[in-house]
Amino acid sequence: MSPFQLTRTLPEDATDAALRADVLQGLTRTPKTLPPKWFYDARGSELFDEITTLPEYYPTRAEREILLDRAPEIAAATGARTLIELGSGSSDKTRHLLDELTGLVSYVPVDVSESALNGAAAALLAERPGLRVHALIADFTHALTLPATPGPRLVAFLGGTIGNLLPAERAEFLALVRTLLEPGDALLLGTDLVKDESVLVRAYDDAAGVTAAFNKNVLTVINRELGADFSPADFSHLARWDPEREWIEMRLRARRALSVKIPELDLVVHFAAGEEVRTEVSAKFRQDRVRDELRGAGMELRYWWTDGAERFALSLATA
């Protein structure tokens, strides 16, 4: 059997249908919203990679520090023979973990991007001959059918991406993860932590303007995919901290009153001068909230690891 298998659980046109539905819904409601998953076309993924190298954007470095420090403990605590990574992208952040999980026989990266999966698998197979890679093209916020691979299994959801889900979506997602776990399996979860507002806002509104370009890229995606005529220059980038809900919101604010045609949806969208579209929520956590939400989904927090500056946490939970 080939060491690499790719399984598509999403129809080829699923992305298209989902984008249309999200844009129609999001731009015809008040206040207007767009889901963050549409940032990540090839250009958006490139901009995100650039964000992770910015001096202001600490989460990637903080998580890497924890993974480097704790990978041996994670390997010992889980004895994982299969690693399932949700939203694996380029699998870069998993490398330290893979290096330490010496008993690993199967790696199951799950992502909506086929190109990311192929690239990641090729790199890994070169480094780890003998490892079986079973890549899944799937939207992990919906049901997941996993390949039959040996346990114990470790499910990893890194980067703090869980913060992009709203509380109800988070509960639903964690309940889905719980259904993937058999006795002896574990979840490794990355969460960004609540901290000083100015540090958080700078991380989402960097001096070089990379995050602004990333935010506006969603307009370019809608132009290309749905024939819309957004001028990104008509919008300004905003990052706001919501102290009650403890999340960062990214928004795009119309600099003047304007209308945008979206031919593929037979839609004209009007923006008032100063009107804002929420494009991303990035929730920040405290240990209590992580423990409570895991427990609400039938899991128990076993380990809580932070970087030295306590900016980011990795949680290990079991069923």
The binding site for ligand AVJ (CB under 6 A) comprises 51, 59, 159-161, 163-164, 204, 211, 280, 282
Computed over its alpha carbons, how large is the radius of gyration of the chain? 20
Residue 49, classed as helix, strand or coil, is: helix
Does 182 show up as a binding residue in the annotation? no
Does 215 show up as a binding residue in the annotation? no
- Name which of 204 and 271 has its Cβ closer to ligand AVJ: 204
Tokens of 179: 């259904």
Does 57 show up as a binding residue in the annotation? yes
Q: In the complex, what is the shortest distance from the CB of residue 150 to ligand AVJ, in angstroms, rounded to a whole number?
A: 30
Does 282 show up as a binding residue in the annotation? yes
Q: In the complex, what is the shortest distance from the CB of residue 218 to ligand AVJ, in angstroms, rounded to a whole number?
A: 11
- Name which of 26 and 89 has its Cβ closer to ligand AVJ: 89
Q: In the complex, what is the shortest distance from the CB of residue 204 to ligand AVJ, in angstroms, rounded to a whole number?
A: 5
Q: In the complex, what is the shortest distance from the CB of residue 104 to ligand AVJ, in angstroms, rounded to a whole number?
A: 25
Q: Taking a C-beta distance cutoff of 8 angstroms, is the pair 185, 303 a contact?
A: no
- Name which of 169 and 264 has its Cβ closer to ligand AVJ: 169
Tokens of 60: 């990637």
- Name which of 82 and 211 has its Cβ closer to ligand AVJ: 211
Does 246 show up as a binding residue in the annotation? no
Tokens of 308: 């030295």
Residue 105, classed as helix, strand or coil, is: coil
Lookup result for tokens 């299969």: 82
- Name which of 51 and 260 has its Cβ closer to ligand AVJ: 51
Does 110 show up as a binding residue in the annotation? no
Task: State the residue number with the nearest CB to ligand AVJ.
Answer: 282
**83 vs 89: CA distance, rounded Å:** 14
Ranges of beta strands (E only) in the chain are 4-8, 82-86, 106-111, 132-137, 153-157, 186-192, 235-242, 247-254, 258-262, 267-271, 276-283, 300-306, 312-318
How far is CA 94 from its chain centroid?
14
Q: In the complex, what is the shortest distance from the CB of residue 170 to ligand AVJ, in angstroms, rounded to a whole number?
A: 13
- Name which of 209 and 227 has its Cβ closer to ligand AVJ: 209
Q: CB neighbours (10 Å) of residue 2?
A: 7
Q: CB neighbours (10 Å) of residue 130?
A: 8
Q: In the complex, what is the shortest distance from the CB of residue 58 to ligand AVJ, in angstroms, rounded to a whole number?
A: 10
Does 204 show up as a binding residue in the annotation? yes
Does 93 show up as a binding residue in the annotation? yes
According to DSSP, the residues that pair with 318 across neighbouring strands are 186, 300
* Bind-site residues for L-histidine: 57, 164, 204, 280-282
Q: Which residues are annotated as a binding site?
A: 57, 87, 93, 111, 139-140, 164, 204, 280-282
Which residues define the annotated binding site for S-adenosyl-L-methionine? 87, 93, 111, 139-140
